[in-house]
Amino acid sequence: MKRATAHSQVSRPLRFRGQVQPTSGALSSPASGLACVFWQLRIIETVSPTLEFIHELRSPESFFLQEAQSNGNERLLLIRAEATQVSSETTLHPVGSPVALAVAEALEFADNISVEECLLRPAEQVEVSGFLLEADTGAGPGRRVHLPLELCEAEVRVDDCDRRFRLLPWRWRR
């Protein structure tokens, strides 16, 4: 199967807003068990007081960005998980917590690990930037295969514009 090729040369990434949707079914986070479209775990293993190993795991499943256009139509953009940077709220499961102990048991680590969990939940509003690729299979005009548009080198950020002002409002007061 041929991969998508760049439709046109773009010098800077394009930005899109929409909701994330799973390609097949919703995933389940291996740490907390919550339903999600994408998960990423950062496991910090403390070997000694001066040495820590950091292990990063992420979901292999691609997902869609469902973008609502101004004319009322919706467009699906494919985002491949392996080439995506996700910025979202991270949940910390400290050493000794039930989630950290469950992850340690499942991955056969010692019990002294902490887990940082980053999730994208179904229908979550996000802003995505990346390079847009249009599928081109190289087939003749009567034999084209309809493939979704794909965002390459995508950066996904959860829409939480208000959060930065709600966290520390006291810093700017006099």
DSSP 126-158: EEEEEEEEB------GGG-----EEEEEEEEEE
Tell me what pLDDT residue 116 has. 94
- Run of H or E including 103: helix 98-107
The answer to whether residue 5 sits within a structural domain is no
Comparing CA positions, the residue from 20, 30, 19 lying closest to residue 118 is 30
The answer to whether residue 50 sits within a structural domain is yes
The answer to whether residue 138 sits within a structural domain is yes
Return the number of other C-beta atoms located less than 10 Å from residue 16's C-beta.
19
Token pair listed for 63: 């997902």
Give the count of domains, the chain: 1
Q: How far apart are CA 144 and CA 38, in angstroms?
A: 30
Tell me what pLDDT residue 3 has. 52
Comparing CA positions, the residue from 118, 141, 122 lying closest to residue 40 is 118
Tell me what pLDDT residue 137 has. 54
Tell me what pLDDT residue 55 has. 93
The answer to whether residue 163 sits within a structural domain is yes
| Residues of the chain below pLDDT 70 | 1-11, 134-147, 160-174
The answer to whether residue 1 sits within a structural domain is no
Helix, strand, or coil (residue 94): coil
Write out the residue range of the structural domain in which residue 96 sits: 14-172
The answer to whether residue 4 sits within a structural domain is no
Q: What is the DSSP letter of 171?
A: G
